[in-house]
Structure 1
Amino acid sequence: MCNNVIILLLLLTESGATFRLFSSDAGTYKEARPFFISPKSLINDYFDGNLAPVFQTINSHTFVFVMYYAHFCGISRRMRDPYENAAAFYRERTQNGNNTVDKFHVKFIAVNCFYHTGQCRKSYKLDYYPHMYLYIKGTRGYQYFGPSITLNIIEFIEKIRMPIIRLTNENEFLDFIVQHESHVLAHFDFSNNVQRQHYSFFVQAALKHIEYDNEHPIRFALILNESIIEKFSQLSNSTFPKPFVILNQFNSPPQMFPHMTYNFTTENLFQWVANEYKKPCVSWIVPKNRYYSRSPSIDKATVFDALTDHDNLLIFFTSNKLDELKLRQIYIYLFNCNITHSSLWQTQIDRLYNQSSINLKENLTKTHYNLLSSCCQYLLNQISPMDVYNLCLSNQELPSLNMLDTKTKICFGTLKNHQLKTICYREYCHQWLKTYPSIYQKKLHENHDITLEKRRDKFHDQSIEVQNQFILDSNKSMENFQGLLCRDNSTWAFRLINSRYYPNFGQNIGIVNDSRAIIVLQKKNEQYYILNNTQIATENIYNFIYDISHNLRSRSLSKTPIRETNPEHSNRLVELTTDTFQSIVLNPDKHVLVVYYTKWCGFCQSIWPVLFQTKKFFRSFTDLIFARIQADKHDLPWHLTVYNYPAIILFPAEKSYSIVFPTSTEPITSVSLTKFLLYHLYIDENINEQWCRPTNNSFLSMLSSNYIDFSQLSYLVKSFS
């Protein structure tokens, strides 16, 4: 007995230590606990709200990412795993004798800013959580507003770490301007002290724009070569006095910053760029709310804002950022007559797009992909392990192969294509690195520069792996599409929506299984068209736009998958969808009573017992089907669409017309529905005269009464027929 008491007291003591409470005049609080409980030790978690070590870390490290969280906040909890993954990305492990040393290129810290006695809560009055800042040594912190996704956090950090893109040759310059429709170009004389100060203001303005729009900021670039200035002058037909800061926007004349000699400040430059900025021809649609983690969906108003000044809105629903390049190339080709140097832009985009392709396998036919895999395996098996080593880790070219070999001749035609060869190398290298991790690690430890290069490669691979798809070009001539939209009387806007962040947009218009599609919305006709993922190719996109602009394509119908039901159940209506509606309802051998409803319609929910009871009364009538369709989730052709709910429509067999139940004048009851069905389906138009006599007209008298003897229903109908 004593032993049991002692055990009980020990358990209570341990429980009290685990859930220790503190009482004060302000209330009762739990003891502070770690928020990041992973054993990886990637995050310095100051769960007691202490700010002193945070300030010390910020002053001693070049880059410090701080997350101010509240332990109860759902968004803070959702951000926990992506934050740790981002910290792991910037960790570099080195071997120091028998010990493994971790070095962080970006230090990650978390602070509980809601703990009642913590210094953080007393110092900062935060109205939401988490607040996330990337601090740069010697300057201020820059706030992250993006979603709780590791890749977005990494991209934000990389932009802050390199706010200025340095352009050293013409190819880099052309690549930069085709990737960013609106950008700021600058050239400074670094031998001049004033110009060096202006450059520091230029960098700070770039950082402010990255903070202002985490996902798609206006990018700033520094020109370091005179040949680039000459090329830029040639393209814009202008000459630029040095030094200069220029806002360059696609298909618009460049604008010079007016305060180059006086009032050159960070704020003036930031405001000037923000005021002169115009919406790009091809851009991404994001929620209006800057705090994406608190507004994870795109609502109807956000989409229709893009339609304000346009008749047609083309949306590329994708998560592959390379698709932005391809869509810009399509835009330039279709508006060829209004764009200067359009052929140059198209060529440059095509080159950059092909170089950036990583994986084509999902867009290749099975036969083509099998051939590519076979050739890739054969090709790389012919070279030595050292050559594979150089290929995968040093990015060197493959040695020449024996072209007399039969297999080599077969594969040469496939692998001479730059895009396909890139797939081959990438696929094999990923497998090889997984097979030989020790060699991989050894190589990384030998050279710090290689380590950083591989980290950049990893970042690039993660960006592409989000969507391993590629738009294939056709070999057919598409000159007849050049300048197509110049000749069109309607206006078009080209936009993209990230399918990974906002899948609800695709689900709402019926894109269920695919995370990639092209949608065209028409404001005037209130309809849309969809080009599915399997159809996305350059030629198909041009044909798609051509058909819509010439009214040659039928509108798309949205549909939502429904759970499987047993239509034979006595009290169950057949669930109709966009795909099954016409095959069931327009069946010439069956009469079909269809109920149009929506889940948000309260009155619709009240009529189901009436429908189930009526169906039960007609269970012996094998030629009659009771069905329903959720009309707001399953689009139908215009002549089969209704605008009021609930709507009950009868589709008689072998008839070219339908009959609407008069809900405005008749109550929806079992009696009224039964009369409606009997009158329109089971009364012959050529009624025998004897049935009209009051003495014999038991059936007609039943129809005119408020009561029906359902037990005699089947007998009366058969007799009357």
Structure 2
Amino acid sequence: MFPTVDTEDIVQVTSLQRISSVSSDVQNSPENTQNSKQQNNKEITLNMLIKEMVFCIALALTTYGALHNTPTKVSKHPQAVRFFNSDSVVSDWYKGQLSSALAVVNKADISFVMYYAPWDAESQHVRGEFEKAAIILSERVHFAAINCWNPGSECRLHHNKIPSWPILMAYTVNSRGVLYKGPRDAHSIVNFLELVIKPLERVSSTEDLVNLLSICDAVAVGFTPLADTSKYYNIWYTVAIKAREFDTIGEICFAVVTSEELALDLGVETVPNARLMLWNDTLEYISGGAYQSWNESSLLHWVLENFTQPVARVIPMWKKAFSFERYVDGNPILILFTPMNPLYNQLPSYALLREVAMEYYNCNNNKSSQWTTELLKLQQVQRLMYEQKNFIKFCQDFKFKKPIINRNHYYKKEIVSQNNKYPWVNVTQKYQKNKSADFFMKKGLAIAKFMDSSDDESQVVTSLGLLHECNRELPAERAFYDNYEKCLLFEDNFNLDQGKQEDHESIVTTMLPFEGDHLAPENLVQDNVKHFCKLTKFSYEFGPPIVPAKVPNAEDQINVTDINGLSCENNFTLHMLAVDSVTNHHFAESLGIDVSNKKDKTTVVILDSKHESQYVLSEEYSAKSIREFILNFTRKNLKRSLRTHVVDAAHTHYYGSDNNGQIEITNDTIHIIDLTTRSFRKMARTKGVITLVAVCGGACPAHVSRALAAGARLLRACALRVAAARLDARAHDLPWHYTVDRYPAVFVFPAHREGEAGSRSYPADERVSGGGLVSLALRALAAPSHLRVRIALCHTAKGVAKKKTCLYDIKEHLTTLIGRNLKYWRRSEHKELKDALFKRLQHLHRVSLDLSLMHVTDLSDKSIKLKTLLNSLSLLAKNWDIDVSILNTKS
């Protein structure tokens, strides 16, 4: 251990530091020793006092600084300003007054709130779309925006950990907020709010349920009686609203049956209950099983977990996501790119693919095969009828007028609900049967039988016209309102006795006149039509309705390819997806499809990841072409489509050249051309030019580009026509024989070639260099051109020793050529071939003689020996090619 220092040691050290000025005898005297000790003690005491004083002063200064330190200066945040204009229909709480904003929101039936940060780019983008939606729905929905970033504001204090902006929430009366997770454009927002406004469809007959099945991908039906309490109905209503947080486009239709008699007819014995009716099955919610009670969380989880659809609609959310990941499982994927307007009740192009998918997946050994077949035909009829509608013309021709008031005191008119044609009476358990449906059934117009017996689509639509006019949809088309009274009288014919008895009953009512009562049935119809026309006009801003092409001939309609149960005949399953081609056109462009130039912006592509290939529908999208496309793919009769970059894409980032693959050859600079799939084939087949092509997996590395430029410059210095190019294999597909397993790969195409034959590839394990490319190009040249290039390279060599070595290598190469051709001449038994080889040997010996006379000093442009050698090489080039046709002649 180290020795410690105590006070005695300190004293000893201090005494040794004194300067001795007397003799040793004086110093050792007792008197002097006593004086020195006293003086040393005084010095120690003085030093200690000085140290204590310094310590006290430092402590005082530190304490003073700590007590009187000024707070850190922080710049004030800018004063909050309006995010929306003062005259906007959106209530802008730009100071973050959360409680005041929510107080107004709670008073409205439906509210849509945007929590934003004014500096956020996404909030600034959504602002315009949010205001567009507010203009359309301002009469039915309260729109509000709250600045939740303003420091010190109420909203910031309550919500200070928002991960991203903006947050869009929909609020209904006495319900929690529903977070909007869908696309943030005005049309999608309006569609979402329409679903929130009307989350449930009331089912009063089996025909209503069938109509929903013909439109929706799935129907969730809740059987909730209203006799004793509305508790079960309220829970199902909340489930329908909460489901929109996960289903923003309305793929699942929620319906409710409040009549116990109708529930009994539909096979439901105990209520409350729920059913999920899918395209291939019907599931029933079992209370007491895995889901113990009738509550929101259990019901919502049950619906979302069991929901399936034949065609999945993929909606990418403009951020890093994995929308397609669950479908990439080794099986091929069929993707339909088509405009999918969220405001249209039906999408015929999507509906057609859904019919095809149901037919493709409908195996005969399936128990629900018959159910799927009938539903498929029903959906086909619904699609054909929808294609006949012209909503714009209906809105233009519709005359908004006040209804005529019948002053007869004994007149009774039933109040017609907006969501169906059956009266909404207080006693909902009394189920009223649809007499018109029975009438059509008796006349033999059952949908399945009628579709089987009819070959013409127009005949189907015409025969079902009256059924469609009297359909439950409101608003429908002009014909519905023209025949509205006829439809009512049509039903009254089945209940004449009851009508006669009721006509004489005196009705005492406190209802307001129709002119002053805005809730009167006729006024509600007028208001509903106005709102419908407003939405229709707004929906056309997204794009007009898209209808698949009609099958031209009657024979083709009959001979449509049958793919029923085709999925069960193979060991793979074809996943079918649908993507909006308007907002997500960049996905199609990444696949090399310029969807903007396709008819109706609609196309179909099949991606086969297992075989690394894709197939694009070449014909117009129709019921016949899509079925044949799927069948030919299954039977492997399709030709692979080569994916290439869409040059004219307006919104796809691409950092390539703009020369469209044109070959540029100049003497001063080397242009490396960026190729596409099409320009690659053109360049590979160009004769008279040595082509150096680098195929890279993305952008080519710098050393590859330098090697291309250096190799092209060396070959061009030898009086050869050379072109250098590169291709991004991730954006452009090549034919199978050019597929490589490692990037970068370099191909050399010789000047004299037939098509693409004769190309050579650079060794995959070697680093790409200019000299290596020149060597590879020399191997692809004929002997006369090869010798000429090597002589030119000897001329550019530096140093006498290198030039001697270069000439020696050329002589050795020429000797090898003479020996090889002499061997061919000796083995040949064909006279004409032997004569051609003999003439070639004569010219080779002439070149060998001229080369043997060459010296290092003769490698100059003015050398006569060099000119003589080049002339000999020219004669050899003229006699080098042998006519192959002489081999076919008999000697």
Q: Give the TM-score category using the shorter length.
A: 0.7 to 0.9
Corresponding residue number in structure 2 for 1:163: 199
Corresponding residue number in structure 1 for 2:695: 596
Corresponding residue number in structure 2 for 1:557: 642
Q: CA deviation at 1:303?
A: 2.2
SS of equivalent residue, structure 2 residue 534: helix
Q: How many angstroms apart in 1 are the aligned matches of 2:119 and 2:683? A: 52
Corresponding residue number in structure 1 for 2:676: 577
Whether 1:335 and 2:416 are equivalent positions in the alignment is no
**Structure 1 residues 36-185: aligned runs within 5 Å:** 36-37=84-85, 40-91=87-138, 104-125=139-160, 126-185=162-221
Whether 1:205 and 2:239 are equivalent positions in the alignment is yes
Q: How many angstroms apart in 2 are the aligned matches of 1:635 and 1:697? A: 52
Q: How many angstroms apart in 2 are the aligned matches of 1:702 and 1:599? A: 47
Whether 1:568 and 2:598 are equivalent positions in the alignment is no
| Equivalent residues of 1:43, 1:87 under 8 A apart | yes
Q: How many angstroms apart in 2 are the aligned matches of 1:593 and 1:78? A: 47
SS of equivalent residue, structure 1 residue 584: helix
Q: How many angstroms apart in 2 are the aligned matches of 1:539 and 1:714? A: 66
Q: CA deviation at 1:626?
A: 3.8
Q: How many angstroms apart in 2 are the aligned matches of 1:107 and 1:206? A: 20
**Structure 1 residues 508-657: aligned runs within 5 Å:** 508-514=590-596, 515-532=601-618, 535-562=620-647, 564-565=658-659, 567-570=663-666, 571-587=670-686, 591-603=690-702, 604-610=704-710, 613-614=713-714, 616-617=716-717, 620-622=719-721, 624-652=722-750, 653-655=752-754, 657=757
SS of equivalent residue, structure 2 residue 783: coil
Q: How many angstroms apart in 1 are the aligned matches of 2:607 and 2:760? A: 31
Q: CA deviation at 1:548?
A: 0.5
SS of equivalent residue, structure 2 residue 170: strand
SS of equivalent residue, structure 1 residue 191: coil
What letter matches 1:579 in structure 2? R
What letter matches 2:634 in structure 1? S
Q: CA deviation at 1:461?
A: 5.4
1:246 to 266, 275, 282: 275
SS of equivalent residue, structure 1 residue 634: coil
| Equivalent residues of 1:178, 1:349 under 8 A apart | yes
Distance change in 2, residues 1:572/1:111 (3 Å): same
What letter matches 2:360 in structure 1? L
What letter matches 2:691 in structure 1? V
1:189 to 199, 217, 225: 225
Q: How many angstroms apart in 1 are the aligned matches of 2:868 and 2:192? A: 76
Corresponding residue number in structure 1 for 2:435: none
Q: CA deviation at 1:535?
A: 1.9
User: What is the RMSD computed on CA atoms of the aligned residues?
Assistant: 4.2
Distance change in 2, residues 1:200/1:226 (3 Å): closer
Q: CA deviation at 1:587?
A: 4.3
Distance change in 2, residues 1:715/1:674 (3 Å): farther
Q: Deviations over 1:204-226 (max 9, x none)?
A: 11112111332356432113568
Q: CA deviation at 1:659?
A: 3.5
My pick for the range that moved more, 647-656 or 218-227, is 218-227
Q: Deviations over 1:340-383 (max 9, x none)?
A: 233321221112212333799xxxxxxxxxxxxxxx9xxx9xxx
What letter matches 1:115 in structure 2? N
TM-score (norm 2): 0.60
2:326 to 301, 305, 316: 305
1:281 to 299, 306, 310: 310
Q: CA deviation at 1:32?
A: 1.1
Corresponding residue number in structure 2 for 1:458: 534
| Higher RCO (Cα < 8 Å, 6 or more apart) | 1
Q: Which stretches in structure 1 are left out of the alignment for 5+ residues?
A: 1-22, 92-103, 234-238, 361-375, 395-412, 430-443, 704-710
Q: CA deviation at 1:185?
A: 0.9
What letter matches 2:385 in structure 1? Q
SS of equivalent residue, structure 1 residue 28: coil
2:567 to 473, 477, 485: 485
Q: CA deviation at 1:542?
A: 0.9
| Equivalent residues of 2:96, 2:146 under 8 A apart | yes
Distance change in 2, residues 1:607/1:599 (3 Å): farther
Query: Which structure features the higher share of strand residues?
Result: 1
Q: CA deviation at 1:691?
A: 4.5
Q: How many angstroms apart in 2 are the aligned matches of 1:462 and 1:698? A: 86
SS of equivalent residue, structure 1 residue 580: helix
Q: Percent identity over the alignment?
A: 20
| Equivalent residues of 2:218, 2:251 under 8 A apart | no
Q: CA deviation at 1:135?
A: 1.3
| Equivalent residues of 2:91, 2:144 under 8 A apart | yes
Corresponding residue number in structure 2 for 1:470: 547
SS of equivalent residue, structure 1 residue 67: strand
Q: CA deviation at 1:716?
A: 10
Q: Deviations over 1:95-154 (max 9, x none)?
A: xxxxxxxxx321111111111121110111222211111111322221111222101111
| Equivalent residues of 1:146, 1:293 under 8 A apart | no
Corresponding residue number in structure 2 for 1:678: 778
Q: How many angstroms apart in 2 are the aligned matches of 1:535 and 1:582? A: 27
SS of equivalent residue, structure 1 residue 29: coil
Distance change in 2, residues 1:713/1:523 (3 Å): farther
**Structure 1 residues 426-465: aligned runs within 5 Å:** 449-460=525-536, 462-463=538-539, 465=542
Q: Deviations over 1:50-72 (max 9, x none)?
A: 12320221122111211110111
After TM superposition, which residue ranges in structure 1, 4 or more long, deviate above 6 angstroms? 225-228, 391-394, 413-417, 697-703, 711-717
| Equivalent residues of 1:148, 1:293 under 8 A apart | no
Q: How many angstroms apart in 1 are the aligned matches of 2:857 and 2:307? A: 74
| Equivalent residues of 2:93, 2:146 under 8 A apart | yes
Q: How many angstroms apart in 1 are the aligned matches of 2:595 and 2:783? A: 47
Q: CA deviation at 1:696?
A: 3.1
Q: Which stretches in structure 2 are left out of the alignment for 5+ residues?
A: 1-70, 341-346, 404-455, 469-474, 479-517, 648-656, 785-816, 822-840, 860-866, 878-891
What letter matches 2:373 in structure 1? S
Q: How many angstroms apart in 1 are the aligned matches of 2:245 and 2:175? A: 14
Q: CA deviation at 1:502?
A: 2.6
Corresponding residue number in structure 2 for 1:35: 83
Q: CA deviation at 1:591?
A: 4.6
Q: How many angstroms apart in 2 are the aligned matches of 1:690 and 1:633? A: 52
Q: CA deviation at 1:75?
A: 1.0
My pick for the range that moved more, 452-461 or 63-72, is 452-461
Corresponding residue number in structure 1 for 2:339: 319
SS of equivalent residue, structure 1 residue 455: helix
SS of equivalent residue, structure 1 residue 135: strand
Corresponding residue number in structure 2 for 1:271: 301
Whether 1:696 and 2:852 are equivalent positions in the alignment is yes
Q: Deviations over 1:403-445 (max 9, x none)?
A: xxxxxxxxxx9999969x99xxx9x99xxxxxxxxxxxxxx9x
SS of equivalent residue, structure 1 residue 30: coil
| Equivalent residues of 2:712, 2:723 under 8 A apart | no
Distance change in 2, residues 1:163/1:40 (3 Å): same
| Equivalent residues of 1:335, 1:485 under 8 A apart | yes
What letter matches 2:580 in structure 1? N
Distance change in 2, residues 1:231/1:322 (3 Å): farther
Distance change in 2, residues 1:467/1:574 (3 Å): farther
Distance change in 2, residues 1:574/1:139 (3 Å): closer
TM-score (norm 1): 0.73
Distance change in 2, residues 1:636/1:692 (3 Å): same
Whether 1:356 and 2:390 are equivalent positions in the alignment is no
Distance change in 2, residues 1:414/1:66 (3 Å): closer
SS of equivalent residue, structure 2 residue 236: helix
Q: How many angstroms apart in 2 are the aligned matches of 1:352 and 1:256? A: 29
SS of equivalent residue, structure 1 residue 202: helix
Q: CA deviation at 1:167?
A: 2.4
